């Protein structure tokens, strides 16, 4: 559905050239929810603007829904954009138009007759859950409702691709989750390919099938979300993963443990997929003569399954502790000894 080959984007400025996108290769399949994550200045906003032709690459090729976006312009590009819609962080609604009129706007532009237009708008209002708010103006809507209008408007022309530019950054956590759930529903119902950029790993974890991590214009890591969570390779990816998988006070807990437990081991367990559902701690206590204290932990759900970390303290005979650790490893759970006192 979307293919980028050796894409480079250089901006010229008085202080010199800035390489915002540096030799990026991506292959996004039809029907995927593909996340691009990075901190400010990583190049992700420039990259998403390249996908719908708002920017042209300095070099490389970009194909979206069968069209070479980097090669076309004018009327041909405007036609191609009907299949590539976009939603924005700050909604970009027409404040003098009602919900119904905002959603109808792209249909008016392409000359859809009023009867067909009204029918399509009614379908979209129902799809995004805005029944009863059709005649409200943007100033009368909550942030989440405004973004639902933006999503409905983006879907008006039945696009094949939906680009999301930090679409939940201006929303509170609860509203963010409701918008992400709506995007998943749209993806499943319509088979729509969704590409979203974000600096929040929670967004990636919640809805994406694949993720690309950007740093200084380059894609430094990419893959299936669950696998990236399981074995992040780059330091920036590890920082992002820790946002949602590891409690913030891990270091403090381990230091405090040195005072509470002068002997024994502090062990970090990493669960992926079915392993997260096992009664692991119960089985350890039943089968081995060790004391186990659960310190802290967190399990996160991804589109491909569960991922979690658990910190425990184990104490007992050295041989029994070793046997317990070996047992854990045989359950397809990764084990890292954090403290061995």
Radius of gyration of the chain from its Cα atoms, rounded to whole angstroms: 24
Topology, domain 2-235: Rossmann fold (3.40.50)
- CATH number for the region 246-340 comes to 3.30.70.260
Interhelix angle 318-330/280-287, nearest 10 degrees: 140
At 79, the pLDDT band (50, 70, 90 cuts) reads: confident
pLDDT digit string, tens, across residues 92-149: 899 999 999 999 999 998 899 999 999 999 999 999 999 999 999 999 999 999 999 9
Q: How far apart are CA 308 and CA 245, in angstroms?
A: 6
Cα gap 199→255, rounded to integer Å: 30
Using CA atoms, how far apart are residues 312 and 297, in angstroms rounded to an integer? Answer: 9
Q: Which residues of 58-69 are buried (b: 16+ CB within 10 A; e: fewer)?
A: bebebbbbebeb
HEC string for 100-140: HHHHHHHHHHCCCCHHHHHHHHHHHHHHCCCCCCCCCCHHH
Q: What is the DSSP letter of 40?
A: T
**Ranges of each domain in the chain:** 2-235, 246-340
Write out pLDDT tens, residues 211-268: 999 999 999 999 999 888 878 889 999 888 877 766 555 556 556 655 666 677 888 8
Helix (H) or strand (E) holding 279: none
Distances (CA, A) of 145 to 91, 118, 141: 10, 20, 6
Residue 336 structure tokens: 């890292």
* Cα 136 from chain centroid (whole Å): 31
What pLDDT, on the 0 to 100 scale, is given for residue 75?
Answer: 87
114-127 vs 143-155: helix crossing angle, rounded to 10: 130
């Amino acid at each position: 559905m979307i293919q980028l080959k050796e894409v480079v984007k250089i901006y010229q400025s008085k202080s010199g050239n800035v390489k915002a996108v540096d030799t990026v290769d991506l292959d996004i399949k039809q029907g995927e929810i593909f996340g691009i994550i990075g901190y400010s200045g990583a190049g992700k906003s420039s990259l998403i603007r390249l996908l719908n032709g708002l920017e042209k690459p300095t070099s490389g090729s970009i194909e979206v829904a069968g069209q070479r976006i980097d090669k076309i312009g004018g009327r041909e590009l405007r036609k191609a954009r009907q299949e590539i819609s976009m939603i924005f962080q700050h909604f970009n609604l027409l404040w003098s138009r009602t919900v119904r009129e905002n959603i109808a706007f792209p249909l008016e532009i392409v000359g859809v007759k009023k009867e067909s237009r009204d029918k399509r708008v009614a379908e979209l209002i129902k799809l995004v859950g805005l029944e009863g708010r059709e005649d409200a103006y943007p100033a009368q809507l909550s942030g989440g409702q405004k973004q639902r209008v933006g999503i409905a408007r983006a879907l008006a022309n039945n696009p094949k691709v939906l680009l999301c530019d930090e679409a939940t950054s201006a929303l509170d956590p609860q509203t963010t989750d409701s918008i992400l759930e709506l995007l998943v529903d749209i993806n499943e119902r319509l088979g729509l390919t969704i590409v979203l950029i974000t600096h929040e790993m929670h967004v990636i974890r919640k809805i994406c099938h694949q993720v690309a991590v950007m740093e200084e214009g380059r894609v430094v890591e990419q893959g299936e979300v669950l696998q990236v969570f399981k074995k992040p390779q780059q330091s920036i990816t590890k920082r992002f993963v820790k946002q949602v998988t590891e409690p913030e006070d891990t270091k403090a807990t381990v230091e405090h443990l040195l005072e509470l437990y002068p002997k024994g081991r502090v062990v970090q367990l990493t669960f992926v997929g079915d392993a997260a559902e096992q009664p692991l701690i119960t089985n350890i206590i039943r089968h081995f003569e060790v004391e186990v204290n659960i310190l802290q932990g967190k399990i996160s759900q991804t589109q491909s399954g569960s991922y979690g970390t658990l910190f425990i303290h184990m104490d007992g005979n050295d041989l029994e502790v070793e046997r317990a650790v070996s047992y854990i490893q045989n359950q397809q759970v990764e084990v890292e000894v954090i403290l061995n006192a």
